[in-house]
């Protein structure tokens, strides 16, 4: 009898504490919180610890007891598994379901497209509308020389390095994170082969991007980009001024518009009608095709080109032929103007 009692006592000794532990865990996991039917938006930023996340949930009214939420998250082993993003939490009112809605839920996604040829003002304006960023703050970040150089970009700012592409960001993602992604995408262009090609041309990556941005400003069709690139390479080799209209458009305040003679006299290192060589830096963000064209120009002897009026250009090897092509374009322009006047 004594032995049986001893066995029962030992059994109770193990069962009761385990029962209490299990009951405690279940209680914590299924502890009722506040969120019932309303939809609540919560933004989780990169690197935020569980304590910060629980305070956000408490402040937004999703939970009423942050300590029990944190404990439940740790019990589930998910304290480091809550991903970055913006979440709409609705219809969950116990710890376990709230945690699962964060860890396994689908964060809201923003689809952002940057177009080829956009400058930093256009990019900032687009991001301020689509991501809710402050425009002036974006301009300040993009122009921050220390931030630029921390990204291994050899320039005073990030003009030219915000790569045109379609991106997907979490709603609530921070400015620095978004901008770093643009620059990271740009860097993919620089394969070992492309780096070696630039070195063989005695041009830095910054110079290639600068030239590519001018090509981007001139070309509409991809087929013409290597030809336009060759014109500029040929002029650089001969010590000729580039006389590239997009560089002047970059420095006028009311562009883009038809350039006037007075515009060509603006004293700026970006004015390639006044100064030889490349401007100090890019004038926009060139796309892949323009970057490739800057590195791999067509082999030709062209030194001039002028618009035809249909998006394409007439290329010339000498000034005489160039003047002839310009007169042809003027006739096209007058004809179009006349037709518009008759409408």
**pLDDT for the residue 16:** 58
Say if residues 42 and 62 touch (Cβ distance below 8 Å): yes
Q: Which helix or strand (DSSP H or E) is residue 304 part of?
A: strand 304-307
Beta-bridged to residue 41, according to DSSP, are 88
Is the model's pLDDT at 223 over the cut of 90? yes
In sign, the C-alpha dihedral spanning 196, 197, 201, 202 is: negative
**pLDDT for the residue 236:** 98
Averaged pLDDT, 153-178: 93
Domain boundaries, the chain: 31-103, 109-187, 192-302
Say if residues 187 and 153 touch (Cβ distance below 8 Å): no
Q: CA 157 to CA 140: how far, in whole Å?
A: 10
pLDDT classification of 332: cutoffs 50, 70, 90: confident
Of the candidate ranges 16-30, 60-74, 297-311, 317-331, the one whose mean pLDDT is the lowest: 16-30
**pLDDT for the residue 127:** 97
Please enumerate in sequence order all residues whose Cβ is within 8 A of that of 66, keeping only pairs 6 or more positions apart, or say none. 54, 55, 57, 58
Q: CA 44 to CA 340: how far, in whole Å?
A: 55
**pLDDT for the residue 163:** 98
DSSP 266: -
Q: What is the pLDDT of residues 123-164, one digit of tens each?
A: 999 999 999 999 999 999 999 999 999 999 999 999 999 999
Say if residues 31 and 72 touch (Cβ distance below 8 Å): yes
Averaged pLDDT, 84-94: 82
**pLDDT for the residue 6:** 58
Percentage with pLDDT > 70 across the chain: 92
**pLDDT for the residue 245:** 97
Return the closest-CA partner of residue 131 out of 177, 89, 92.
177
Of the candidate ranges 79-93, 280-294, 319-333, the one whose mean pLDDT is the lowest: 79-93
Instruction: Please tell me which residue, 238 or 16, carries the higher pLDDT value.
Output: 238
Q: What is the pLDDT of residues 69-81, one digit of tens each?
A: 899 899 899 988 8
For the residues of 66-90, what is the DSSP string, one character each? Answer: HHHHHHHHHHTT-TT---SEEEEE-
Percentage with pLDDT > 90 across the chain: 65
- Which CATH class, in words, describes the domain spanning 31-103? alpha beta
Averaged pLDDT, 162-191: 94
Averaged pLDDT, 157-177: 93
Q: CA 251 to CA 156: how far, in whole Å?
A: 17
Q: CA 266 to CA 68: how far, in whole Å?
A: 67
pLDDT classification of 3: cutoffs 50, 70, 90: low
Is the model's pLDDT at 49 over the cut of 60? yes
In 40-129, beta strands by DSSP E? 40-44, 85-89, 109-113
């Amino acid at each position: 009898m004594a032995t049986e009692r001893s066995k029962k006592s030992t059994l109770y000794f193990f069962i009761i504490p385990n029962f209490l532990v299990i009951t405690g865990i279940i209680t914590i996991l299924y502890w009722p919180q506040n969120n019932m039917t309303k939809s609540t938006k919560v933004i989780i930023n990169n690197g935020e610890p569980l304590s910060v996340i629980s305070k956000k949930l408490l402040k937004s009214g999703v939970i009423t007891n942050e300590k029990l939420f944190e404990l439940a998250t740790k019990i589930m082993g998910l304290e480091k598994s809550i991903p970055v993003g913006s979440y709409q939490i609705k219809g969950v009112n116990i710890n376990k379901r709230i945690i699962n809605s964060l860890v396994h839920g689908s964060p809201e996604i923003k689809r952002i497209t940057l177009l080829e040829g956009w400058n930093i003002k256009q990019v900032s304006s687009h991001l301020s509308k689509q991501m809710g960023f402050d425009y002036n703050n974006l301009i300040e970040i993009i122009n921050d020389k220390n931030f630029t150089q921390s990204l291994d970009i050899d320039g005073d700012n990030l003009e030219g390095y915000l790569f045109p592409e379609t991106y997907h960001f979490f709603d609530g993602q921070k400015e620095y994170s978004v901008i770093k992604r643009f620059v990271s995408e740009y860097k993919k262009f620089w394969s070992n082969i492309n780096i070696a090609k630039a070195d063989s041309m005695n041009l830095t990556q910054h110079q290639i991007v600068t030239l590519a941005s001018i090509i981007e400003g001139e070309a509409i069709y991809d087929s013409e980009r290597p030809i336009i690139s060759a014109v500029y390479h040929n002029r650089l080799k001969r010590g000729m001024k580039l006389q590239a209209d997009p560089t002047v458009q970059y420095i006028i305040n009311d562009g883009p518009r038809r350039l006037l003679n007075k515009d060509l006299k603006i004293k700026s290192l970006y004015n390639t009608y006044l100064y030889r060589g490349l401007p100090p830096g890019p004038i926009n963000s060139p796309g892949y095709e323009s970057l490739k064209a800057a590195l791999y120009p067509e082999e030709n002897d062209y030194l001039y080109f002028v618009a035809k009026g249909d998006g394409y250009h007439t290329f010339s090897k000498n000034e005489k032929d160039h003047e002839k092509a310009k007169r042809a374009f003027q006739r096209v322009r007058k004809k179009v103007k006349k037709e518009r006047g008759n409408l």
